Amino acid sequence: MKTHVDGRDARWIEHRRQRRRELVESTLRAIRRHGATVGMDEIAAEAGTSKPVIYRHFGDRPGLYRAVVEKVAQFILDDLHASVSWDAADDFSALVRDLALAYLRLVQRDPEIYRFVMSRPLVDGDPGDDPVTGLTMRIGQRIAELLRANGFDSDRADTWGHGLVGCVRAATDQWIRSGMIRPTEDVADDLSDLLGPAYHAHRPVTTTSYEEHR
């Protein structure tokens, strides 16, 4: 029984990883070309391959969907990390505005990708572990950690952190349904005006920088 990976196995594993990455990129191109309701035939055509080949790499349609969401989720998280002033917890209104504006602009740049991720067109029924929920949970946990580091008790930090993310997502979905006509800055200002005062009304007397607790 083999207990290690030899050179050929390592090259084969890397080849499969690279092929998966290429198929995910092809799927993203197909979504942009055909819209959020893209089908497997259109994805296969964009990738220059067949549906059985795609299934061989991802197992099934939900497997491909999860791989796409993981790619998109990492991109969103990286962008939010770079765009949001996470250490500005003394001005929660600014944090809400930064988060909302960054999220809205991401959607504005790639609306069909966002619709695809949220509508789950390749998934028949419940996919089990919903990767979209995983993404929003990770962002909400980041906010909760910031609030705890700035003196909020754990329960309230969790409620507010995840509630903020849910509010931004719901407002974004409505913005899309209305045709994305309003400027992103106006929507972000509305969310900041709604949520910021609640934080400042209940903020602990003594706060410390979130960056000191990282």
Whether the CB-CB separation of 54 and 64 falls below 8 Å is answered with: yes
CA distance linking residue 146 with residue 161, whole number of Å: 9
CATH 1.10.357.10, domain 62-213, yes or no: yes
Of 124, 108, 110, 112, nearest to 31 (Cα)?
A: 112
CATH 1.20.120, domain 1-59, yes or no: no
pLDDT for res 91: 79
pLDDT (tens digit per residue) in 125-155: 555 566 777 778 888 888 888 888 878 889 9
Whether the CB-CB separation of 88 and 212 falls below 8 Å is answered with: no
Of 162, 145, 142, nearest to 154 (Cα)?
A: 145
pLDDT (tens digit per residue) in 167-177: 999 999 999 99
What letter would DSSP give residue 205? S
Domain ranges, ordered by start, for the chain? 1-59, 62-213
Rounded average pLDDT over 10-28 = 88
Q: Go through 43-69 and write b for each residue having 16 or more CB atoms within 10 A of its CB, e for each that does not.
A: bbbbbebebeebeebbeebbbbbbbbb
CA distance linking residue 13 with residue 9, whole number of Å: 6
pLDDT (tens digit per residue) in 176-197: 999 999 999 999 999 999 998 8
pLDDT for res 208: 46
